Structure 1
Amino acid sequence: MKLLLWDIDGTLLASGGAGLRALEQATESVFNLPVPADLSTIDWAGRTDRWIAAKIFEKYDIEHTPDNVTRLLETYIGNLPAELSRTTAVLPGILALLTEVQQRNDIAQGLLTGNLERGAKTKLGHFDLWNYFPFGAFADDSAIRNELGPHALRRAAAHHDRTFAPTDVWIIGDTPHDIACGQIIGARTLAVATGHHTRDQLAAHAPDAGLDDLSNSAEFWAVIDGD
């Protein structure tokens, strides 16, 4: 059995800036900023929500306390539904692939994402995709993206009552951080150029495979099933 661990933003969903807007609104309202929040300068693609919160505090000289993290991220998640309705869409081919995974008994799948679990559920639930993923690793587990892999593997093992060898695990994502997160646990990595990085930019980080997008299921399965 092979294990697929999916990123969300830029891989499963095209957010159209929904998360950025929701977080900017949260930053302004929670901390009463005198000017509109501009978080576009933070390089947050492939990062975790908790890492991003730390960078926001640094940028606006806000005390980095557990209470401030909670207030910011709770407000952000509350803002998400309205913003998701404005611009977010499921990327081409995703629904077909997720359905095909469920029809195979030799493939397991879960999430490996920088979103908090509640944020992931909000985003995927908006498109009725949440139930495709019975387990995952989230920003709740660590603010550091490269520390999420072992959490995902542990939950996959518990859910399926078996251990997955690293070479049977595929990390699927759209940023160099997804690639690094897979490499650090010895997993295989599939980089897809559906986010903010081109295929050539992703290839520079040495993923095991790369695709322009996931619209061609035959192309996807040729990667996953190939040895």
Structure 2
Amino acid sequence: MSRATRLVMWDVDHTLLAAGGVARLAYAPAFTAVTGVVWREMAHPAGRTDWDIAVETFAMHGIDDCEPHLDAFFTVFAAEFAARRELLAHQGRVLPGAREVLAALGTRPQVVQTLVTGNIRPVAVDKLAAFDLAAFVDFEIGGYGTDDVVRATLVRRSLERAAAKYGHAFAPSDVIVVGDTVYDVTAALANGVTAVAVATGGTSAEALAAAGAHVVLDDLSDVEAVVDLLAD
């Protein structure tokens, strides 16, 4: 087998798929079950880690120290999300070109694909599995929303896990973060790796370029061009 030399780190929400609001539906009952506090609202999630979102959401409900609740909350949140997987498949959708790009990169032996996402790992797995995308990525080496409140740390954790699993460090020039927010771009830049931004979320192409993205795409629909960009 050829040695893996290219590492592609995918964001999930609004980069590969849209989850149709299912996470918000799972969040409320999980929060109340763990805290006993009546649910009001969730902090704005785009581009942030679940840990970061939880800190603000708990504070918005008068709980300034969420640390004692976090492990239990994430466990219940994952279960509530899993219970809505059929709804996810119905309300959500894969974004244009995402499935085809993942599949094409999956045939390249030098390419390893993983996730660097603000989602906790069980939720990230469920999201990809709901749309038959899970086979294309190595979940073991990803960076997830329980790793830190800071997105850049997720990239660093993924680099460490990839080096440990594959027996060598990936050259920074061979690591690509693909995401739809400024947070994804700045996390890549903080680790000295390539930032490829897609304007498929709520952030404009101009804002992504201004944040320092090396490449900005409207979406992933030009499959051949995207695969060439990410694999070569």
Q: TM-score, normalised by structure 1?
A: 0.90
Unaligned residue ranges in structure 1 (runs of 5+): none
- 1:137 is paired with a residue whose SS is coil
1:131-158 Cα distance to aligned partner (Å, 9 max, x none)? 3222211123222211111211112222
- 1:22 is paired with a residue whose SS is helix
The amino acid of 1:206's aligned partner reads G
Please, what is the CA RMSD of the aligned residues?
1.9
1:114 maps onto 2:114 in alignment: no
Task: Give the CA deviation at 1:86.
Answer: 4.3
> CA separation in 2, counterparts of 1:85 and 1:109?
22
Task: Give the CA deviation at 1:178.
Answer: 0.4
Distance 1:140 1:31, change over 3 A: closer
Please give the residue correspondences for 1:140-155 in structure 2 after superposition, counting only pairs within 5 Å: 140-155=146-161
> CA separation in 2, counterparts of 1:176 and 1:200?
11
Structure 1 counterpart of 2:91: 87
The amino acid of 1:128's aligned partner reads D
From 202, 212, 224, the counterpart of 2:218? 212
The amino acid of 1:103's aligned partner reads T
From 178, 193, 200, the counterpart of 2:199? 193
Structure 2 counterpart of 1:3: 7
Structure 2 counterpart of 1:131: 135
1:158 maps onto 2:164 in alignment: yes
CA contact (8 A) 2:104 2:227 kept: no
Q: How many residues align?
A: 223
> CA separation in 1, counterparts of 2:152 and 2:192?
12
1:97-136 Cα distance to aligned partner (Å, 9 max, x none)? 1111121122221111111112211222222322322221
Deviates more, 1:122-131 or 1:147-156: 122-131
CA contact (8 A) 1:170 1:187 kept: yes
Structure 2 counterpart of 1:72: 73
Structure 2 counterpart of 1:31: 35
Task: Give the CA deviation at 1:222.
Answer: 4.1
CA contact (8 A) 2:105 2:231 kept: no
Structure 1 counterpart of 2:108: 104
Structure 2 counterpart of 1:43: 44
Instruction: Give me the identity figure in percent.
Output: 32
Task: Give the CA deviation at 1:191.
Answer: 0.4
The amino acid of 1:199's aligned partner reads A
Q: TM-score, normalised by structure 2?
A: 0.88
The amino acid of 1:37's aligned partner reads R
Q: Give structure 1 regions of 4+ aligned residues with deviation exceeding 6 angstroms.
A: none
